[in-house]
Amino acid sequence: MNTPDHVLVVGASAGGLATVEALRRKGYAGQVTVLGAESHLPYDRPPLSKQILSGSWEPERARLRPPSALSALDAEFVLGDPATGLEVSARAVRTASGRVLSADAVVVATGLRPRTLPGQTGLAGVHMLRTLDDALALRMDLLSGTRLVVVGDGVLGAEIAATARGMGVPVALAGPQPAPLALQLGQPAAGLLAELHAEHGVELRLGAAVSGLTERHGRVTGVRLETGEVLPADVVVVAFGAAPATEWLAGSGLELADGLVCDSRCRAAEAIYAVGDMARWHHETLDRSLRLENRTNATEQAITVAGNILGEDRPYTPIPYFWTDQFDAKIHVHGMPSPDAEVSIVEGAVAERRFVAVYRRDGQAVGVLGWNMPKQARQHRAELATTPLLAGSA
């Protein structure tokens, strides 16, 4: 394909902005338009459940770039106007306000939409946490010091519980796993995480799925577990997963299957690409379809996509990586650890709460976890690149 005259990026956040920056760094001088559903300039999401929720940062600090750096990109930002449809052959995007934006190449980077519990819509005191506005609204409710129940024992739920405890809020964490992140990290990391939360006063109500909410006069009063027990709550955060924000692509003819399905170049159709949390692409070295929900992936995938738009024709083959901060634990995870892998502690000690764990399957390293040892974990990451599972990955 020739270099496009005009690139349209749908989604004005981590992945979308990184695509534009990479295009410009690689020397692209054509027209760029960025369409975003939210009215805010691009901001970062990881601080939302940490510094923004706790109040240690003013909202402006979450901005990905100052306005001057955005201007220097020479891109048109069309904000507060969600895309509602895509005509693939014309690469034309319709928006909620009735605009039609067409371009020679389209990059889709619309992220995720949180899953909801039945009956939560419109109920006062019930929150989700995906956007800056969500974080500020949740913070306002927590400032009154009421009892919070977090629905969701994954990374986001556990982070919210930790931050809310740091604010002095009484917190219960509910979810089906035996410990937070148990299905992702297995032992000993998930057990230690449970210990950490319990020590800081989080009431762990794990091992039972949440079936719904209770309410009185339109305000939430509790979270019902599948056992029938109700956990009393003044405020509830529903953080039990999210789905790719692809509903606006329904009817476009593009393949949607838990994400926008792409080839190894992150291309969904001729001159249409996907980046970030909503992109499902074929990882060539793993030889499987993958979708990653983490911050580093949004940037790295954007760089590959920008190159491919400009004709580089490179597959995207990352070693997955994410981090999470909870209380005083800084946890860094490389590769694909799993609870059924064999885990060995290769540096530090679990009891000291500073360690590196390597996860092996059939003797091959598949994941590395650093607990308050980011540098050392990064060093062990090198082992992943030599296993057949991840060999050849960047």
Enter the tokens of residue 349: 């000690």
In the complex with ligand FAD, the residue whose CB is nearer, 112 or 185, is 112
- Please, which residue, 78 or 390, has the CB nearer to ligand FAD? 78
In whole angstroms, how close is the CB of 332 to ligand FAD at the nearest point?
10
Is the Cβ of residue 108 or residue 149 nearer to ligand FAD in the bound state? 108
> Least distance to ligand FAD from the beta carbon of 53, Å?
8
**Do 273 and 302 contact (CB within 8 A), yes or no?**
no
Between 298 and 358, CB nearer to ligand FAD: 298
Binding stretches for ligand FAD (CB under 6 A): 10-16, 35-38, 45-46, 48-49, 82-83, 109-112, 129-130, 156, 245, 248, 276-277, 293-296, 298, 322-324
- Hunting for tokens 């692409």 — which residue is that? 281
Asked whether the bond before 244 is cis by omega within 30 degrees of 0, the reply is no
- Are the CB atoms for 181 and 193 separated by under 8 Å? yes
Token code pair at residue 338: 């799993």
CB closer to ligand FAD, 18 vs 225:
18
66: which 2 tokens?
Answer: 């100052």
Q: 334 with 381: CB under 8 angstroms?
A: yes
Give how far Cα 52 sits from Cα of 62, 63, 144, 159, Å. 8, 11, 17, 12
| Residue 293 C-beta: closest distance to ligand FAD, Å | 5
Task: Supply the minimum distance, in Å, between the C-beta of residue 325 and ligand FAD.
Answer: 7
Place of tokens 């749908």: 10
Which sign does the torsion angle of CA 305, 277, 261, 272 carry? negative
Min dist. Cβ of residue 320 to ligand FAD (A):
10
Q: Which residues, at least 6 apart from 210, have a Cβ–Cβ distance to it below 8 Å? A: 117, 151, 174, 175, 223, 224, 225, 226, 240
Residue nearest to ligand FAD (CB): 276
Nearer to ligand FAD, 225 or 303 (CB): 303
Comparison of 130 and 361: residue with beta carbon closer to ligand FAD: 130
Q: How far is the CB of 241 from ligand FAD (least distance, A)?
A: 12
Chain-centre distance for alpha carbon 225: 26
Comparison of 153 and 277: residue with beta carbon closer to ligand FAD: 277
Q: How far apart are CA 138 and CA 125, in angstroms?
A: 9
At closest approach, how far in Å is the CB of 95 from ligand FAD?
7
DSSP string, 297-349: HHHHHHHHHHHHHTT------PPPEEEEEETTEEEEEEE---TTSEEEEEEEE
Nearer to ligand FAD by C-beta: 225 or 242?
Answer: 242
- Output the smallest distance, CB 114 to ligand FAD, in A: 8
Distance of closest approach, residue 349 Cβ to ligand FAD, in angstroms: 25
**SS3 for 35-63, per residue?**
ECCCCCCCECCHHHHCHHHHCCCCHHHHE
